[in-house]
Amino acid sequence: MQFLQNISLDASTSLKMPATAAWYCEASSVEDVQEAAVFARDKDIDVLVLGGGSNLVLGSDVPGLVLANRVAGCEINTDQSVLGAGENWHDFVSKAVRKEIGGFENLALIPGNAGAAPMQNIGAYGVELRDRFISLQAVNLSNGELVTFDPDACQFGYRDSLFKQSRDWCITSITLHPSNELRLEYPGIRSYLDQHQLEPSHENIFRAVCDVRKSKLPDSASHPNAGSFFKNPIVSLHRGEEFSRRHPGAPAYIDSQGVKLSAAWLIDQAGLKGLREGEFSVSDQHALVIVRDGARGMAKQQGSSFEQLNRLIQRIKDKVLELFGVELEVEPTIYPD
């Protein structure tokens, strides 16, 4: 495997932040990942693992090694599927649906690669990765050891896991099981099926999710973005009841953790759609999405891109806290943190 120097990362993330990697490699196997771990240890530099770049905000150059995970492999079977970390997630979901293997259709069109899916326990339309998870393999970047993780060891939470909290691991493969359950409770799916007079089935849910997502979310090819910029806040039952009393009609969902509020609703109600700082603004199309669509020239007058983004994040958090007493938490990985 080649270790390259001074590689541009400008096109490596969906937010298209300008950045350069001091060192860069593309790992196609577990052995390549282990070789990268040794290389970084010998040079005493940190490793940043890169998948599809759809949930990563690069706020500066990377002085260490960027390890682009390209580990391939996609075995889809009726009992389980094993995916190399470098496989595109949506390609897997599409292939599974074509093979009439259910359980993944609600997670269609989530950008990025299979290896990053456990990172934040990806979820959409009522299904999370942990609902279909058997195990994963990951290389410990500090000693090169290959370790198998079961669901408990991954410490999955709402858009969270052990791997989101620690940079020590490079996931190399994941193993998932199918499911026959049809998850239809999200209004977007249900109304799509009704409107198109489609019977609930894995294939029709896949179609609904793909069409609804295309119509609701800004396209990152033309409007660089990192998906939802904030997690939905989860508050205690008591605070949730108080919130609902003050804001009747606001979305609030009770689950085992407490009450989940809608970050999109909070931002929208605060009148923040369209709010801009330099190159960045809150999408007019979806309040949870920050798009990088401004003229490049503005960066010079108003600080670096990252400074502008941080100002926008702070303004959104401050306003939501002031109006609703709720703290928003950023969802994507911010580098450096």
**Residues acting as catalytic residues:** 159, 228, 331
Return the one option of ligand FAD, ligand NAP, none that residue 17 interacts with (CB less than 5 to 8 A, by type): none
Select 45 or 124, whichever has its Cβ closest to ligand NAP: 124
**Alpha carbon separation from 259 to 129, 248, 252, 262 (Å, rounded):** 21, 14, 6, 10
- Antiparallel, parallel or unpaired: β 258-261 and 234-235: antiparallel
Residue 113 pairs in a beta bridge with 88
| 217 DSSP 8-state letter | S
Sites for ligand NAP among residues 109-138 (CB under 6 A): 123-125
Q: How far is the CB of 29 from ligand NAP (least distance, A)?
A: 30
Instruction: Determine the interface stretch with ligand NAP among 31-39, 61-69, 199-207, 227-235 (rule: CB under 6 A).
Output: 227-235
By C-alpha distance, which of 173, 204, 172 is closest to 189? 204
**With the CA atoms of 114, 118, 124 and 127 taken in that order, what torsion angle do they form, in degrees rounded to the nearest 10?**
110
Phi/psi for 114 (5° steps) reads -60, -35
Q: Cβ neighbours of residue 238 under 8 Å, at least 6 residues apart?
A: none
Ranked by CB distance to ligand NAP, the top (closest) residue is 227
Select 24 or 230, whichever has its Cβ closest to ligand NAP: 230
Of positions 188, 258, 294, 303, contacts ligand NAP by CB under 6 A: 188
Phi/psi for 307 (5° steps) reads -65, -40
- Interface residues toward ligand FAD, by CB under 6 A: 14, 48-56, 69, 85, 110-113, 115-117, 119-120, 122-124, 159, 163, 169-171, 217, 220, 225-227, 333
Q: Cβ neighbours of residue 190 under 8 Å, at least 6 residues apart?
A: 184
Does 166 engage in binding with ligand NAP (CB under 6 A)? no
Select 61 or 241, whichever has its Cβ closest to ligand FAD: 61
Q: Which helix (H) or strand (E) holds 319?
A: helix 305-324
Of positions 44, 185, 194, 199, contacts ligand NAP by CB under 6 A: 185
Return the one option of ligand NAP, ligand FAD, none that residue 112 interacts with (CB less than 5 to 8 A, by type): ligand FAD
Select 68 or 217, whichever has its Cβ closest to ligand NAP: 217
**With the CA atoms of 58, 62, 64 and 67 taken in that order, what torsion angle do they form, in degrees rounded to the nearest 10?**
50
Return the one option of ligand FAD, ligand NAP, none that residue 220 interacts with (CB less than 5 to 8 A, by type): ligand FAD
Q: Which residues bind ligand NAP (CB under 6 A)?
A: 123-125, 185-186, 188, 216-217, 227-228, 232, 251, 253, 262, 264, 331
